Amino acid sequence: MKSKSVIIFAILFCIQQTNLLSQKTVILKQKNGVNIPFVLSDVRKITFTSGNLNVIKRDVTTNSVALTNVRSIPMAYVVSVNANADVTSLNPSQVNDIYVSNGNTLSINSTVDVKSIIVSPGSKLNLNTGQTLTAKDGITLQSDATGTATFVDANNDAPQAVSGTVQQYITAQRNWYSASPVAAGTAAGFNLGTSVQSYSESAKAWTILNSGDALIAGKGYVSVATTGTGTTGTVSFNGTLNTGTITVPVTRTGTDKAGFNLVANPYPSYLDWSLVAADPLNANIGTTMWFRTKTAGNLYTFSTYNSAGNVAVANGANTTITKFIPPMQAFWIRVNNGTASTNLTFKNTMRAHKDNNGNSLKAPRLDNQKLVRLQVTNGTSSDETVVYFNSDALDAYDKYDSPKMFESSTVMKPEIFTQVGAEKLVINGMAELKYNTEITLGFTTSQKNSFCIKTSEFKNFEVGTKLILLDKSTNPTSEFELNEGANYNFSSDITSSSADRFSILFRAPVVSTGVDTTPQLNARVIVNANNQIAIIDAEKCNYTIYNAMGQQIENGILNYKSNTIHSKLMQGVYIVRVFGNGKEITTKVILK
């Protein structure tokens, strides 16, 4: 067996000699099957003595051999975890290095004393309740572009102090909302950006930190790297990993942006926000959290999650967002009105590994709630708002509602919201569906432009329920049926949080949106994205179009399931009658 290791070493040594300056990673396969990766550009010399593999790294400052960087790995002592396992089955000793690879999970289900534990990106390490983990050289949670290793300590009442290194892969030219996963982290840990900043709720201002400034566990920070700045790579924090109960002071002062605090997941694991929000110690903090992230179009956006209704607005986030907050992730919360100061409390019982089920914030498992998702777009960027119905909610502002986090006036992005009292909402939870009751739909834009409002989701409503958009800028007020896929096109000057132009209402299936209607024919009349009349589900039927004065201007036969009327009709109000087989429907439409 030893001769086989020597042969493998010789092969690695030859590769190392010919590729010393490359960034190629060489995988050494040891005799017990473990794979150990080495980046050749970091290796100065490799030797093999007394059954040990000695990797001597170069000193990046002097480019000389630094003996303090010697890494000796006993060939017979590295334990590889190539499948889900526990330490009882591995039976390691104090001389063993444990390497968890390939997205596997290692559970510490009995007291263990080892040399080190290295957890590869995407792999998981569990410390079970009542067990003790001792690692002389600490644990290392690795991270790269494919994922991040996570560690969950299940000991809530008597958490254990575990030392190690926690990595986080980040990319250049963007801000990272982050935090320290270790007890004594400093701003110097975020060394790949141009600055590290913290937010004060009371001052409503940002402060740039010095590199030696301490990072408070559970407080959120921003590692800033604007366009053309920053470095793609891995940041590392060394020290005692955050664990146990952690409290973060939060406040609500003034009226402008009152109560919004930037906090963070303090653990080197995922954090279940639904458990955080449900804890009685957090009763004075809202049930909503906000992520600040980027869209596929490389624009910043706010993604919102409400744990009471299990409803969210992802707003085009270019990442999979769930109720599980990633390690080192900072996010926004809001202190409830009437509370000047309180603590946000985190516990080990709220920790988790990544959600392997891929459940998105739309929460398909709670599919019984009536929900409509509205979107506004200017063709480049978009924004969403949600109205849903939950029997436990109030029509007044409560925990089932989520306030709107607005962009700054310099961002050329349209935004929509609903409103309850003085609160502008991105998520509006209401007690029950009330037909023919107007719900204010606010709109804001910092740029004069053409826009489109559409329904991107409409679920669990009784068949035939109509969603009507009212545009009060016309005289008389225009009505438009917002079927899924139907677009309402309009123009607007610059407006700031206008709540007097649009509203929406629901009409019962027996009530049509049009004039002189007979709701027996199961057909739909809409205005499509090209501002044309489209008639759907009316194959082999007849149609007639009248202008606002009742004059017939066109008629014909519908030969297809989906028909577009290509006549060049002027802007205005039209009545469309569709009839066939003794049934008919009459609908009013508006062309802009």
3-state secondary structure 37-87: EEEHHHEEEEEEECCEEEEEEECCCCCCEEEEEEEEEECCCEEEECCCEEH
pLDDT at 547: 80
pLDDT at 47: 55
pLDDT at 506: 94
Distance CA 533, CA 514 (A): 14
| pLDDT (tens digit per residue) in 359-408 | 333 223 335 899 999 999 998 899 999 999 999 999 999 999 999 999 98
- Dump the DSSP string for 347-386: -GGGEE---TT---TT-TT---SEEEEEEEE-SS-EEEEE
Give the residue-averaged pLDDT of 316-336.
Answer: 89
Give the residue-averaged pLDDT of 220-243.
Answer: 96
Distance CA 334, CA 77 (A): 50
Give the residue-averaged pLDDT of 14-27.
Answer: 38
Looking at 104-154, list the stretches that DSSP marks H as alpha helix, in order from N- to C-terminal side: none
| pLDDT (tens digit per residue) in 169-228 | 999 999 999 999 999 999 999 999 999 999 999 999 999 999 999 999 999 999 999 999
Query: Higher pLDDT residue, 420 or 529?
Result: 420
pLDDT at 32: 46
pLDDT at 191: 94
The CA–CA distances, whole Å, from 257 to 253, 295, 337, 584 equal 9, 24, 12, 52
% pLDDT > 90, the chain = 56
Inform me whether the pLDDT recorded for 1 exceeds 50.
Answer: no
| pLDDT (tens digit per residue) in 414-436 | 999 999 998 999 999 999 999 98
Inform me whether the pLDDT recorded for 304 exceeds 50.
Answer: yes
| pLDDT (tens digit per residue) in 116-149 | 999 999 999 999 999 999 999 999 999 999 999 9
Question: Does residue 307 sit in helix, strand or coil?
Answer: coil
Range of weakest confidence among 236-240, 278-282, 445-449: 445-449
In sequence order, what are the beta bridge partners of 575? 546, 588
pLDDT at 18: 33
